[in-house]
Amino acid sequence: NLDVDLEKPLSQVFLASLYYHANDNEKLAEFLRDDQTVAELPAPVLLRCAARLGSEQTPPNVLSRVMHSIEAQPRYGFGPDELHIRAAQSWQLHLAEMRAYYGETLMTRPQIAQVGNWFDLRFSNGQDWGNPLNPPQSTSIRLEFEYPDATVIEVALGGSSQSSVRTSITGTQSTLHIVSIKVGNQQFAEADSPATPVSLLDTNSDPDLNRESPVRTSELPMTSPDGTGDQPVLAQ
C-alpha cells in the first residue's frame, strides 16, 4: 500500500519524538534496537536520541549506521585541489545549513549532484593543499549541520595519506571517515561504532557534479530516507 509506505517513516519519527520528550529512555533504546527502524530514521533524529541516551545506552546499530553515512576525499592535483564529500540522504541536507572546513579553511559554494540515495558535494576553493607526489601527511575535515529545530551537529572526518589510492598521475585520493560526532555536549567517537567501515565513494567514477549551490542547502531535492518527502528533524 503506497500510503502505508509513505506514512511509516513519518510515524517512526514521531514515535522517536514521543519517547524522547517523555524522557522514556528505556522505550527509546528498545525502539532503536530494530535495524529497520534505524534505517528509516533521519541521521539528526538518531543523533538527538543517541545524545539523550549516551554512548552506553545507545544501541550499537544506531552509531554504526550514522558513522558510515558520510565520507570525504581530498583530491590533490598539480594546481588547485578539490574536496569531495558524499552524504547519505538521511542527513536531510534540504533542511540543514551546512558548513564544511578543510583544516581551518571554510569551503564554499559546492557543486551538488544526487547519486542514488546519496548526495555528492564537490568543493573547489582554488586552494593548493599538496600534490599527488607530496600529499599532506594527515588531513582533517570538519562539517557542521544546523537544523531548524536548533539542533547543531559537528562531524569530524580524518585519515592518513598513507592509505591513499593513487588512480592516476594527476590525482591522489584518500578516503576520510567519520572519527567523531558532537551533538550538544555529547560526543561520540569512532570506537563507539563496532562495524567495519564500508566505502561509499566510488574511486573509479566521477559523477557529473554540475549543480552549483551556496553553502545553505535548503534548495536540495527532498531527502527523506525513502525519498518520499520532508520529515521533521525531531518534533518539539
Please give the pLDDT value at position 170.
Answer: 35
Give the chain's domain count. Answer: 2
Residues 142 and 192 in one domain: yes
Residues 133 and 190 in one domain: yes
Residues 51 and 75 in one domain: no
Q: What does the pLDDT average to over 84-101? A: 94
Residues 26 and 60 in one domain: yes
Cα separation, 148 vs 129, in Å, equals 34
Residues 45 and 78 in one domain: no
Q: Residue 111: inside a domain, yes or no?
A: yes
Residues 187 and 87 in one domain: yes
Q: Residue 8: inside a domain, yes or no?
A: yes
Residues 44 and 150 in one domain: no
Task: Show the domain range for 26.
Answer: 2-66
Q: Is the pLDDT of residue 6 over 90?
A: no
Residues 59 and 153 in one domain: no
Q: Residue 1: CA atoms inside 13 Å, Cβ hemisphere, count?
A: 4
Please give the pLDDT value at position 11.
Answer: 86
Burial 84-118 (b: 16+ CB within 10 A, else e): bbbbbbbbbbbbbbbbbebeeeebeebbbeeeeeb
Range from 99-108, 149-158, 183-192 carrying the lowest mean pLDDT? 183-192
Q: What does the pLDDT average to over 168-172? A: 36
Cα separation, 78 vs 209, in Å, equals 21
Q: Is the pLDDT of residue 186 over 60?
A: yes
Residues 59 and 99 in one domain: no
Residues 45 and 138 in one domain: no
